Amino acid sequence: MASSKYVIGMDFGTDSVRSIKVDVGNGKEISTFVSYYKRWKEGLYSDAAKNQFRHHPLDYTESLTEAIVEAIKLAPQETSENIIGIGIDTTGSTPAPVDRDGTALALKYGFKDDPDAMFILWKDHTAVEESELINKTAKSWGGIDYTKYSGGVYSSEWFFSKVLHILKTNKKVREAAYSWVELADWIPAILTGNIRPEDIKRNRCAAGHKAMWHKSWKGLPSQDFLTVVDPLLPGLRERLYADTYTSDTPAGFLSKEWAEKLKLPGGIAVTVGAFDPHMGAVGAGIKDKTFVKVIGTSCCNMAVSPSEKVGDKTVVGICGQVDVSIIPGQIGFEAGQSSFGDAYAWFKEVLVWPTVNLISDEKIVKELDERIMPLSSHLMVV
């Protein structure tokens, strides 16, 4: 076992961080641990009545630390010396404002309790008006329709809608924010110490599916377009990014500071991040002519196809078609039902309502899982 090599996978979800340690030689799971976000669990910084859902960056860093340290404790001691990589996936679009040095604003004095200075969770819908403005402008401004590869409709859940909403409604954050970063890019950046906005390797998955990035127009939407959308956006594009990367590329290597926190050797490769359903599709073995549903807080439908088959065709109403966003050599397609998780949570409450104060809902759900599991093989898509 000591000569084997291992990787750690980190999944940053809506409620928690999940870590898993795997033997790269045979795919065997060595250990796993789930750490729940403490502030989120207390209901802080979110307001469902306003469709406002925010994560404090400390929830991510604290749960990241706990999830890895505890997973390592559960594994044979010698395996930690042979970890060769750490992979990251997160929810998205989940952006946050950062200063010139790359520090998330909520980590700075004066912003620690300001929800607008935190990560705007994927299911936050406070930016409905801004998304409508982006869509209207894209169809009427006389230039490129930058929603072309985003299903033709830009969502309030996505990057530019959320950024514009905060810039319009919070002057203090607007004046302090130098740039913005997706959670899937921020986690690898802090682990490797490359947090300056100019140094962060931005992932193709988030950029293409949620920020209208496309190689045909050399990256993000033009500054001319953004300026027409709103006068608050001039200068933003140059403070973001042009190049994007995929998860088979290192974002950097584990810093000495984080190696000490996580009780790991320094210099471990940390991959460029990606979104959770895309990595779930990889785990399911996605390939051309397959369809993968990744069911979690949302329900995401994933497919891939060779670029020569796709050509110049676009699909209306989906959440993007992006070259190599899921696997190499393929166009990645995403669609889904973003309210799925909340609907599922409601259904769970309906199921357990007759037994309130009699038996824990965890026990009931566990029993349902055990009864359903033997049937699950008949539901596999791939």
169 in a domain, yes or no? yes
Distance of alpha carbon 132 from alpha carbon 156, whole angstroms: 8
Tell me, what's the pLDDT at 347?
80
Is the pLDDT at 381 greater than 60, yes or no? no
45 in a domain, yes or no? yes
Tokens linked to 240: 């973001």
Q: Are residues 243 and 317 in the same domain?
A: no
Q: Are residues 198 and 104 in the same domain?
A: yes
234 in a domain, yes or no? yes
Size of the chain in residues: 382
Domain end among 236, 254, 278: 278
Range of the domain at 290: 285-379
Domain end among 228, 257, 278: 278
Long-range contacts formed by 300-309: CB under 8 A, 24+ apart: 300/334, 300/335, 300/336, 301/334, 301/335, 301/336, 302/277, 302/278, 302/326, 302/332, 302/333, 302/334, 303/332, 303/333, 304/330, 304/331, 304/332, 304/333, 305/330, 305/331, 305/333, 306/330, 306/331, 307/331
Distance of alpha carbon 169 from alpha carbon 44, whole angstroms: 20
| Average pLDDT rounded to a whole number, residues 212-228 | 97
Nearest CA-CA partner of 15 in 297, 370, 206, 312: 297
CATH number at residue 21: 3.30.420.40
Express each pLDDT in 183-202 by its tens digit: 999 999 999 999 999 999 99
Q: Are residues 188 and 326 in the same domain?
A: no
Q: Are residues 323 and 371 in the same domain?
A: yes
Tell me, what's the pLDDT at 338?
66
- Work out how many domains the chain is built from and give that number: 2
Q: Are 182 and 92 in contact (CB under 8 A)?
A: yes
237 in a domain, yes or no? yes
> What percent of the chain has a predicted confidence (pLDDT) above 70?
94
Q: What is the pTM of this model?
A: 0.90
Q: Are residues 105 and 184 in the same domain?
A: yes
Q: Are residues 319 and 218 in the same domain?
A: no
Express each pLDDT in 156-186 by its tens digit: 999 999 999 999 999 999 999 999 999 999 9
* pLDDT mean across residues, the chain: 92
Higher confidence at residue 222 or residue 382? 222
Q: Are residues 144 and 109 in the same domain?
A: yes
1 in a domain, yes or no? no
Q: Are residues 87 and 125 in the same domain?
A: yes
Domain end among 247, 278, 309: 278
Distance of alpha carbon 163 from alpha carbon 151, whole angstroms: 20
Q: Are residues 167 and 135 in the same domain?
A: yes
Q: Are residues 171 and 320 in the same domain?
A: no
Cα→Cα distances 151→11, 163, 208, 303, 370, Å: 26, 20, 11, 14, 38
Is the pLDDT at 102 greater than 70, yes or no? yes
Q: Are residues 71 and 166 in the same domain?
A: yes
Tell me, what's the pLDDT at 343?
78
Cis peptide before 131 (omega within 30 of 0): no
Nearest CA-CA partner of 85 in 248, 266, 253, 270: 270
Q: Is 226 helix (H, G, I), strand (E, B) or coil?
A: helix
| Average pLDDT rounded to a whole number, residues 209-227 | 97
176 in a domain, yes or no? yes
Q: Which stretches of 157-246 are assigned E, i.e. beta strand? A: 179-182
Nearest CA-CA partner of 210 in 91, 46, 329: 91
Tell me, what's the pLDDT at 360?
65
| Average pLDDT rounded to a whole number, residues 62-89 | 94
Q: Are residues 186 and 293 in the same domain?
A: no
